[in-house]
Structure 1
Amino acid sequence: MNRLNGFVFTLCLLFSAPLFALRCGHSLVQVGDYKDYVNDICGDPDNVQSHYERRGNINRADATLNNFNGEQQFPNSSFNVGQSNYAEIEVLVEDWTYYFGSERLSKILRFENGRLIQIENLGRKRRRY
């Protein structure tokens, strides 16, 4: 039973949200935060790289538009079963790099349209001038 408790405890630690957060001062920055909040907490990044990515999204109509009796739920809709829509959108992607010195791991924070989506460790690298 002790082994099972230890295993469950380890899984809880691995999948807890603060484990994948960045500590700046006394505050935590987590995935989903806005870049203005991150800038207020952590300060200006040491390096910023930004670019736009075009992403496509396909919406397909399938049998879910029909109810259980086989009738259309939205009979006046111009979107029929079997049709699909394709839309492209531009997403602003920004990579912020923070160098915390040789004592802490350097981090890259990736933002998409102003929201933090990923925190990546770079290791203990020295700043290059």
Structure 2
Amino acid sequence: MERSLVREGLLALGMLAFVSDAFALRCGHQLVQIGAYKSEVLEKCGEPDSVEEHRAVRGSRLRHPYGALEIDQFEEVLIEEWIYNFGPRKFQQLLEFEDGELKNVRNLHRGY
């Protein structure tokens, strides 16, 4: 029974390694986590291999069930997508920033 739990725990840890969305990015010996700002990422990882920018609208609409109250809250945010290519033995990494803050890190295909 105890061996089974250990085996299941190791299997779960192994599966986490293949999840496409990550909470951190390792650049050499430095670790960049979600919530970091662009300046920190640049300091730890250097310049990205490519950068794309676009704008998006985020917000919500609040409505009273009887229509007596309606509130719209929308804002425009700048989204930047940075790609780092760490070579053919590692996956390329896509970093998504909203208004300068790191929101997501995703694995792409192998580097070159």
Q: Same fold (TM over 0.5)?
A: yes
Q: How many residues align?
A: 105
1:90, 1:117 → 2: CA distance? 16
Aligned to 2:79: 93
2:68, 2:36 → 1: CA distance? 38
RMSD: 2.5
Q: 1:104 aligns with which of 90, 96, 112?
A: 90
Q: 2:101 aligns with which of 81, 91, 115?
A: 115
Unpaired segments ≥5 residues, structure 2: none
2:56, 2:88 → 1: CA distance? 33
Q: 2:54 aligns with which of 43, 51, 54?
A: 51
Deviations for 1:30-53, whole angstroms, at most 9, x for unmatched residues? 212111111110001111100111
Q: TM-score, normalised by structure 2?
A: 0.77
Aligned to 1:77: none
| Bigger CA radius of gyration | 1
Aligned to 2:5: 4
Residue aligned with 1:33, SS: coil
Post-superposition offset of 1:125: 3.5
Post-superposition offset of 1:4: 2.5
Unpaired segments ≥5 residues, structure 1: 63-80
